[in-house]
Chain A
Amino acid sequence: MFFDNVILGLEVAMTWNNLMWCFVGVFMGTLLGVIPGIGVLAAISMLFPLTFQLEPTAALIMLAGIWYGTTYGGSTASILLNVPGTPSSAITALDGYPMAQAGRAGVALFMTTVASFFGGSVGIILLMGFSGTISQMALQFSSTEYFALMLLGLIAASGMSSGAMIKGLIMVCLGVLFGLVGADIYTGTRRFTFGLVDLADGIALVALALGLFGVSEVIASVGKISSKGIDPESVRFRAMKPTRDDVRRSWFPMIRGSAVGSFFGTLPGTGPSIAAFMSYALERRVAKDPERFGKGAIEGIMGPESANNAADQTAFIPTLALGIPGSATMALMLGALMIHGIAPGPQLMTDQPELFWGLVMSFWIGNLMLLVLNIPLIGLWVRLLTIPYQWLFPVILMFVCIGTYSVNNSSFDVLLVAAFGALGYGLRHLSFPAAPMILGFVLGPLMEEHFRRAMLLGRGDPMTFLERPISATVLMITAAILLWGLYGSMRKSGAS
């Protein structure tokens, strides 16, 4: 039965029409992923009207191709320019950009493509073989469990960036505060909106990430234009070749990243961005020499890039197996089905096997296309660095503005990018790290949402966190990590 379905899926995916739309999807996706700011939701939104004219399978294959294609392309700008191509690859900039500065941009781009393919493959295998089981498992996760997981992530990630711990904590808190802006989802009360309707839904992640990383990088480079020329050697094909050490260090991060990514992909409400953050935190936590992170550690790009691509694929599990779209983008995919009169829901897999299996098998084809498409392009992307900054940076700023605007068609968001760019520049001068701020911004509001909902569902009894087995286990692990960290720092201060 399984192999019948696989063959059925291949038959559907291998028709010329579907192959073509798959290529269009992944090509557009990877291109839009490279361009900073234009994230997956904006890309899919723009191409959504096109799907009206397509038959539903082709439409979904194309939209899905854009979805995972952007994640492939997203790391490019993060690595080369310290400007995240998509929010889910913001974390890749932490170690990818130092690698590029050390003349190893080719290696970083090559290895992230491999990591992306690896993570994507793991995700597809899970999607093919275990959709039913995994979607049932995902149902076990309610707000109580989400809160415990987020807390684990935040604790594991504390001290995520290099530099003083206290500065990192301040930045996490600042991020949480920015995350609080907008309507309180429980009471509708407006928080820190200053009466502006544009702030009612809070600050857009894309504005914050692009401002802190991208725009501040551009500002900081003003006046340093002629300081460094690019080494022509690093553009050659040979420079893409990873060292034996690179390969050895990459295996476990890829496996761990794929596991983390697959897990967070299946949970509605999390997704590739959180998966990438969590994976980075995990790599730093398990590394023997965490001080290498933030200075071009290859583990710091391999984990997150496997994680976000794995999450991209497993995000289809709740969407297709339960009819529960985990994110706005997944909801859009189901919307494309509704247009064609197909009711998205738990029966999709049995009622529309051609569609389900055709789509799943197209993921293999799409991922292979991306691999083949991206590796030859690396040389071209790296050559971008040879463009003098006075030409390159204005273009980047333009794309940042277009990209931010396109998410909500909001000029207010463009102003926010400028404001966060200025803030990021100031913080950089005071050597406050930006990554913990983004972590606080993403996790803080989610933790609040889930804590308060868990308390509502638990009728105000905080014991609910310990009574539910999954949440209790996760909280115990969190406590163990916290105690271990405290013990370690106490011993260190005792010794000195």
Chain B
Amino acid sequence: MKHQLTALMGAAILAISSPAFAQSYPSGNIQYIVPYPPGGGTDILARQLNDQIARQTGWNFVVQNQPGAGGSIGLDQLSRADGDGMTLGIGQTSNLAVNPALSPEVEYDPQTAFTPIALINTQPMGIITNADSAFADFGDVLDAVRAEPGSVLYGTPGSGTVSHMAIERLMATGDLEFEHVPYTGIAQAISDVMAGVVDVYVGSLPSVIPHVEAGTVRLLAVTSEEPHPLVPETPTVASFGFDGYQAADWKAVVGPAGMPAEAVAAMNEAINAALADDGLRAALEAQGSVVLGGTAEEFATFLAEEVADWAEVVSTAGLR
């Protein structure tokens, strides 16, 4: 306890004396909204990142889990908070780009209701099948769908998830017809893949990798533009003739609209400094992430692209 206190004080002094943080931000504890329940991927990422920032700057984060409606309830709350930079949150593909296009109840406009601060990471989806499946590779799946549209059943963790939208985007690009079987989370879906009841399953890469490593399922493709460093031999969906195709679950730090520029700059700098730490980087990469970081402007541009892209997928697929 005494050691921790000294370390904390040391960090505080460092933070005060360091010119980059000489401004008044932050003026106390930072409230941090995680729009998912504790223990999930988003929650773990947010806590790991905040821990690292706290170690480097001495800032204190108070995490508040506000789950519901695919992460939209938490972000809705964030959009109504004071824009002084003392309330921040973590957002992602679903609640910042997909849900606003898909769900009638989402009231915030992702581009005006928030101040973009920094991208954190991105994870592709993995497409898996039973270990004994007749599909040797993703090409076989595509052949089966082209020969008989609707003949391949694909499971996802739920309707409107990035996994679901990833296949919708593929169907829109390639004029293909898959049959969707939504599950509620990964548990029964993986069980059905292992029993061979559902043909393929699309889920976040870290959620499927343990089962791939155990040999009970096979990884056919990843949805990132480039092959993923954790599974470099697995081809991308794009490499099967879908140039430019990608679908990923990216996560980013956002604040309410109208945050002061200096707070954005201080927070962005702190996030990038934390992401440069080897320990955190290694932990995130082991979980299947590609670490991003970058400026707030880069994130804003990226967000605008994603919002437009997913809105187009939603309208092409007639999902709303």
Contact = CB atoms under 8 A, between A and B. Distances in A.
Interface stretch (B110-118, B138-146, B207-215, B255-263): B207-215
A422 interface: no
Nearest to A204: B68
A453 B181 CA distance: 7
Contacts of B319: 188
A198 B68 contact: yes
A188 B197 contact: no
B56 interface: no
Interface of A: 41, 44-45, 48-49, 52, 138-143, 183-188, 190, 193, 195-198, 200-201, 268-269, 318, 322-326, 328, 331-336, 338-339, 341, 343-347, 408-410, 449, 453, 456-457
A323 B40 contact: no
Contacts of B69: 183, 197, 200-201
B238 interface: no
B160 A45 contact: no
B105 A45 contact: no
Contacts of B70: 200
B191 A453 contact: no
Given A198-B68, A200-B72, A325-B186, 19 more contacts: A142-B192, A142-B195, A143-B188, A183-B160, A185-B182, A187-B159, A188-B103, A190-B104, A200-B103, A322-B194, A325-B187, A326-B187, A346-B210, A346-B211, A409-B67, A410-B73, A453-B181, A456-B153, A457-B197
Interface stretch (B10-18, B58-66, B86-94, B289-297): B58-66
A338 B41 CA distance: 9
A466 B310 CA distance: 41
**Which 3 A/B pairs are nearest by Cβ-Cβ distance?**
A345-B210, A335-B39, A332-B39
B106 A197 contact: yes
Given A195-B105, A331-B40, A331-B185, A139 B194 contact: yes
Interface of B: 37-40, 43-44, 47-48, 51, 63-70, 72-73, 76, 102-107, 153, 158-160, 179, 181-188, 190-192, 194-195, 197-198, 209-211, 213-214, 216, 283, 286-287, 319
Q: Name which of B104, B181, B210 has the most chain A CB atoms within 10 A of its CB.
A: B210
Contact of B63 (A49, A190, A323): A49
Contacts, number: 150
Contacts of B66: 408-409
27 contacts: A48-B38, A49-B47, A141-B191, A142-B192, A183-B160, A185-B184, A188-B319, A195-B104, A195-B105, A197-B72, A197-B73, A198-B73, A268-B187, A269-B188, A322-B190, A323-B210, A328-B37, A335-B38, A335-B44, A338-B44, A345-B210, A345-B211, A347-B213, A408-B66, A409-B64, A409-B66, A457-B181
Contact of A332 (B38, B73, B106, B158): B38
A456 B181 contact: yes
**Chain B interface, >50% SS class:** mixed
Contacts of B195: 139-140, 142
A45 B159 contact: no
A473 to B, nearest CB: 17
B209 A343 contact: yes
Given A200-B103, A332-B37, A343 B73 contact: no
Contacts of A345: 210-211, 213-214
A457 B198 contact: yes
Nearest to A51: B39
B39 A45 contact: yes
B44 A339 contact: yes
Contacts of B158: 185
Nearest to B199: A457
A408 B68 contact: yes
Contacts of A49: 38, 47, 63
B73 A347 contact: no
B187 A45 contact: no
A324 B216 contact: no
B39 A48 contact: yes
Contacts of A41: 37
A318 B192 CA distance: 13
A408 B77 CA distance: 13
A480 B158 CA distance: 36
Nearest to A141: B191
A190 B210 contact: no
Contact of B105 (A142, A186, A190, A334): A190
Contacts of B287: 338
Nearest to B198: A457
Contacts of A48: 38-39
